[in-house]
Structure 1
Amino acid sequence: MRIERYLQDSAARDGARTAIVSGEVRLDYARFLDLSVRMATTLRARGVGRGDRVLVLLDNGWQAAVGVFATWIAGAVLCPVNPATKSARLAQIARDCTPALVFAEGRLERLLDETPEIAATPRIVADAGFEAGLHAAPLAADPLPDTDLAALIYTSGSTGEPKGVMLAHENMDAAARAITTYLENTAADTILVVLPMSFGYGLNQLVTAMRCGATLVIEKSFAFPQAIFESIRDERVTGFPLVPAMAAMMMQARDLDASLLASLRYVTSAAAPMPLAHLDWLRAVLPQAKLYSMYGQTECTRASWLPPGEIDARRGSVGIAIPGGRAEVVDEAGAPVPPGTMGELVISGPHVMRGYWQNEAATRRALRPDPRTGTLRLHTGDLFTADADGYLTFVSRMDDMIKSRGEKVAPRAVEDVLCRMPGVAEALVVGIPHEVLGQAVKAVIVASDPALTERDVLRFCARHLEDHMVPKQVEFREFLPRTDSGKASRRLAAEPASPTGQETGSPA
């Protein structure tokens, strides 16, 4: 199914149901569909045709939601980009995807004008007069196939040059059907999104909400947690997707009133591995909510999910393959490894991307045939183990594994210990060059206790880790450096902090 059908079908079932809550703006399904169709007509009038790329540079808000669905109704390809993206990266993306139109925040017009690759591209600005400038609704168009590209989402570039991930409507539909199945989403749900809708995890909240006719509460960011908690209470939010950085901020919040979160039916975590200390804290504070630990990549949206009832029995696991998908741990030759043996995770199923936009070499590296069947599988580049029941546990990205004293050190294993230490809010572990060891373990820490010292950290680690896993260096920072998608960046953490102590990136 094409994704715009989600909105059309939900509006047909109950047009009066609230679809979007964004600040003071509330759109029911009929109104949201009307705005999206009128915006689609405007796109067509501005020369956007089937398969053209529309670059959406918008903050989280109702305008972004309209821009997303209007692009699909127009038959075009969504290319969402974080509005905080710097000029050099924006230029790279524009050169790569050659957009037919840009839909952007008004404050970004100067940035667009000063970026030669995009300065002359037609644009629509999401300002106060945006709605008045939309065209009237068009006549019904011929149905388009679900094999068309739906989105071109650029990876954060944390492991190299950003690449455009090609997701067809059928890929996104398969992922959305699987996710709403195991989350048991219905029209009665109210889902909160504070994650950027310019990236897969945030965008997926809009897609899944529209699929089941739920209400989506859109917030710009998690910068002010108390305001978000009050929004959860006021809107009676049932679904709360978050990332580890948000959990860390919640843990540091003074006098957190858990009653504000009493409406939550479930919480999800997917963008990065959740430290066990954070997971345990969330379960203690939100006993009524089901907690779903998940794993995914932009290239497949979601790969695995852990049934909430298995959290205690499968400590640290990210679960089993999503419905309709397949996940296996394989060796260098692509053959399955025995239970408990570390290998690369490969994913297959209808939710896996088509490939990377105009990058055949990268596509061939990522999508390789199963030696048994010839079916293409996504090679994730992540090391996992699987138990006899197929439950997966993340070990490390292949490129992140630290080799010290001839021993392999998985950064996450050290991070889980550090996050259990009183006074540590967040931690990131990287390998740094060492003349004797080859690589040494370095811990980058955000402390919640200003009195915490490097000596304290090393003593704690020595009590809980094997010798070769104990950090040789500890660095305290105000916050962890992050990619545009909000993930903590090991590459940036390995670089020296600036003299001011501020990092590239920002807190979530």
Structure 2
Amino acid sequence: MSTDKPWINNYLEGVSSEIDPDKYKSIVELLEISVLKFAQLPAFECMGKSITYQQLDEYSKAFAAYMQHLGLEKGDRIAIQMPNILQYPVALFGALKAGLTVVNTNPLYTTREMEHQFSDAEVKAVVVVSNFASKVEQVLKTNTSIEHVIITDIGDMLGLLKGTVVNLAVKYLKNMVPSYSIKGSTSFNKILKEGKDMLLTPVDIQPDDHAFLQYTGGTTGVAKGAVLSHKNIITNVEQCQAWMNHLEEGKEVVITPLPLYHVFSLTVNGLMCSTKLGAKIVLITNPRDMKGFIKELKKQPFTVITGVNTLFNALLNQGKFADLDFSNLKLVIAGGMAVNTSVSQRWQKLTGKPLLEGYGLTETSPVVTCQPYAGKIKEGSIGMPFPSVEVVVKDEEGNDLPQGDVGEICVRGTQVTSGYWQREKETAEAFFEGNWFRTGDVGYMDEDGYFYIVDRKKDMINVSGFNVYPNEIEDVLMMHEGVAEVAVIGVPHEKSMEAVKAFVVKKDEHLTDEIVKKFCKQNLTAYKIPKYVEFRTELPKSNVGKVLRKDLRMEELQKYEKIMKKGEK
């Protein structure tokens, strides 16, 4: 099966079965070519302010030169912790131009989560929006690897007048910037101002050099940095462009509501693919503000939008969304979580365009399969493999299974990570012999080469497209002196696909679900906090004392099925 690719027979006309992963030496070279081709076209727009590809190049060069001025060298790690604002692409491309490795960081992380990621990656510099600088201040008390902190306010690149108004509103009217004091920190604006007059020493960046440490939980719950090289990313960019060959250079308007720190947005939407196309990339800073989001969509003749199932469902539930002009729309892709059939059908009916489901992982840069933008679109399928990627289904011993048999989906190709940062054991466990990356997802392939997932990683919880791992939450809860034992699982939830539920055995009889949730809020990002807490006198265990999460999941599933049956009656 490893040499059989039945999906190629079903590729759309013009989609090649192979791409050239060596077309560009680095992401920096890819950007430089885009700047030459699209210099005066708008590259990024946010809150009504746009910068051209030429300006993106100039700003990122200034940032890169200043990083060298600070003494950062090729291979050093720099964390970027911001929402979708203009400073993000400037800092990211600037860091890459300086030869640095970018560690994308969720700005909503708690100090505990930040501390782990920054320490594990041995981060030397952090670029953070001021809203979260107070957390960095706390991290600095325990982390000795961080040498430089760069702080920006949300409105710093929106122009003097608008930027000042936005920054004052965020800080004083909305009280969104907790006080902080970080000695020796540098402002983002100072870097752009002074960096433009500094000399940028060219860096020899090789295809296999590390571009990103993209953190993912993994089945153990320990956050690990997947090493993504320049070649990994370029491979997936070339695959995406080959697959979406109906998109036109210099003519697309790409809506980017997914956070740029998420690998899906990083490669597919907000940065790499769209930059190569010379698209105008519209950054949505707060997609949860549905009224503001739709207002922005009304201004744009958008042609491409990507998101997760919950985002599309939320848009469809807004009355004014139906009033938008969808005549320019060419491509809509959903990733990160399964697409509900009802959502895809409603989307198709309203917009006239299919909601295509794709599949990928952080470790695969990320896209592995996708539905074709036209032709045979199969509901419930994650589509066909991209050009130049091998996908097989294997049994537990690593043997290939025939078409139709259910097993673990495995992937091989130049888009696949070389492994996890400084974790040899986990890296070895992630691959079968022959460099087959084990996704941990169970599925099968049909006769046309379309793949289907029938189950996810055994214990992973999918909350609105974000991976949540029970071990991490259990470790946090066990830190509470009132908790004796705990088990965490995912339970069905109509809005977020799954919700986190914690089963707790009390050590302190005064422990309540409010206390548990408050404790979690201090140590976990919002989407990881248990939505439900159930107290029990004991937890189901195996004969060797291992807590049986599968038994708890079965109980909850049976409860859910009973509720659904009652609802049908």
TM-score (norm 1): 0.78
Structure 2: gaps of 5 or more residues: 1-23, 157-186, 462-491, 504-538, 542-547
Give the one of 111, 114, 123 matched to 2:149.
123
Instruction: Give, in whole Å, the separation in 1 of the partners of 2:113 and 2:53.
Output: 35
Which residue does 1:192 correspond to in 2? 255
The Cα shift of 1:187 comes to 2.2
Which residue does 1:95 correspond to in 2? 119
Structure 1: gaps of 5 or more residues: 370-374, 403-417, 446-452, 464-508
Which residue does 1:428 correspond to in 2? 498
Give the one of 72, 81, 84 matched to 2:105.
81
Deviates more, 1:25-34 or 1:132-141: 132-141
Q: Map 1:309-348; keep pairs closer than 5 Å.
A: 309-310=374-375, 312=377, 314-348=378-412
Which residue does 2:514 correspond to in 1? none
Partner deviation per Cα, 1:350-387 (whole Å, 9 max, x = no partner): 10011000111110011222xxxxx3111000001111
Deviates more, 1:350-359 or 1:149-158: 149-158
- Is 1:143 the counterpart of 2:257? The answer is no
Instruction: Give, in whole Å, the separation in 2 of the partners of 1:277 and 1:304.
Output: 22
Which structure carries more relative contact order (alpha carbon 8 Å, separation 6+)? 2
Helix, strand or coil at the partner of 2:426? helix
Q: Counterpart amino acid of 2:232?
A: N
The Cα shift of 1:23 comes to 1.1
Give the one of 428, 433, 454 matched to 1:395.
454
Percent identity, aligned pairs only, is: 21
Partner deviation per Cα, 1:132-169 (whole Å, 9 max, x = no partner): 43312525615321110000011156751111010000
Instruction: Give, in whole Å, the separation in 2 of the partners of 1:167 and 1:9.
Output: 21
Residues paired across the two proteins, number: 429
Which residue does 1:457 correspond to in 2? 564
The Cα shift of 1:174 comes to 0.0
The Cα shift of 1:444 comes to 12
Instruction: Give, in whole Å, the separation in 2 of the partners of 1:441 and 1:430.
Output: 15
- Is 1:20 the counterpart of 2:44? The answer is yes
Instruction: Give, in whole Å, the separation in 2 of the partners of 1:397 and 1:425.
Output: 18
CA contact (8 A) 1:265 1:290 kept: no
Give the one of 225, 232, 235 matched to 1:164.
225
The Cα shift of 1:255 comes to 4.6
CA contact (8 A) 1:337 1:343 kept: yes
CA contact (8 A) 1:229 1:261 kept: no
Instruction: Give, in whole Å, the separation in 1 of the partners of 2:257 and 2:325.
Output: 17
Which residue does 1:67 correspond to in 2? 91
Which residue does 2:331 correspond to in 1? 266
CA contact (8 A) 2:316 2:322 kept: no
Instruction: Give, in whole Å, the separation in 1 of the partners of 2:96 and 2:428.
Output: 28
Instruction: Give, in whole Å, the separation in 2 of the partners of 1:250 and 1:112.
Output: 34
Q: Map 1:350-499; keep pairs closer than 5 Å.
A: 350-369=414-433, 375-400=434-459, 425=495, 427-428=497-498, 438-439=551-552, 440-442=554-556, 457-460=564-567
Q: Counterpart amino acid of 1:459?
A: K
Instruction: Give, in whole Å, the separation in 2 of the partners of 1:85 and 1:48.
Output: 25
The Cα shift of 1:50 comes to 0.3
Which residue does 1:38 correspond to in 2? 62
Higher-helix-fraction structure: 2
The Cα shift of 1:28 comes to 0.4
Deviates more, 1:255-264 or 1:296-305: 255-264
The Cα shift of 1:315 comes to 2.2
The Cα shift of 1:441 comes to 4.5
- CA 428–71 in structure 1, closer or farther in 2 if over 3 Å, else same: same
Which residue does 2:4 correspond to in 1? none
TM-score (norm 2): 0.70
- CA 181–117 in structure 1, closer or farther in 2 if over 3 Å, else same: farther
CA contact (8 A) 1:195 1:221 kept: no
Q: Map 1:219-238; keep pairs closer than 5 Å.
A: 219-238=284-303
CA contact (8 A) 1:233 1:263 kept: no
Which residue does 1:243 correspond to in 2? 308
CA contact (8 A) 1:193 1:218 kept: yes
The Cα shift of 1:235 comes to 2.1
CA contact (8 A) 2:61 2:200 kept: no
- CA 456–365 in structure 1, closer or farther in 2 if over 3 Å, else same: closer
Which residue does 2:30 correspond to in 1? 6
Superposed structure 1 runs of 4+ greater than 4 Å apart: 156-159, 424-427, 429-439, 453-456
Give the one of 271, 281, 300 matched to 1:216.
281
Instruction: Give, in whole Å, the separation in 1 of the partners of 2:448 and 2:116.
Output: 43
